[in-house]
Amino acid sequence: MFAGSGSDASIGFLSLHIALALIFGKLTGVLLFSYIGVRSKLATIPGNMNWYHIAGAGLLGGIGFTMSLFISNLAFTETMQLTHAKIGILIGSVIAGIAGYLLLRSRLSRDRSGS
């Protein structure tokens, strides 16, 4: 999928970049703006939450089928590009969902054990 030259290779990287954007872009955005809100005293973190919980929610925010598919349909006119975009959305959403679940589950078990 990523081998080759020319447009085939760049289209393959489209899937990778979309997946990475869904995973790390949402995580970074949620953490950054939450941090800015807390530091500027516009928001507070509830007593039973911490930054790991916010990071988990940010990862879960990477599950983005509806708008991602809508924007992909507007942005890409070639069938191959649209297919690779959809593959990237699916892979990114699955990885973000699993990572968010695992992070929140591990924090929940640590919080319950009192660490």
pLDDT per residue of the chain (115 residues) written in tens, 0 to 9: 334 445 555 568 899 999 999 999 999 999 999 999 999 999 999 988 999 999 999 999 999 888 999 999 999 999 999 999 999 999 999 999 999 999 999 988 777 776 5
CA angle 44, 65, 35 (to 5 degrees): 20
Residue 11 confidence (pLDDT): 60
In this prediction the pTM is: 0.82
Residue 56 · residue 104 · CB < 8 Å = yes
CB contact at 8 A, 6 and 80: no
What are the CA-CA distances from residue 3 to residues 7, 9, 13, 32, 89 (Å)? 11, 6, 10, 35, 20
What's the confidence (pLDDT) of residue 9? 57
Element (H, E) at 66: helix 66-75
Structure tokens at 71: 């924007």
According to the model, what pLDDT value does residue 1 have? 39
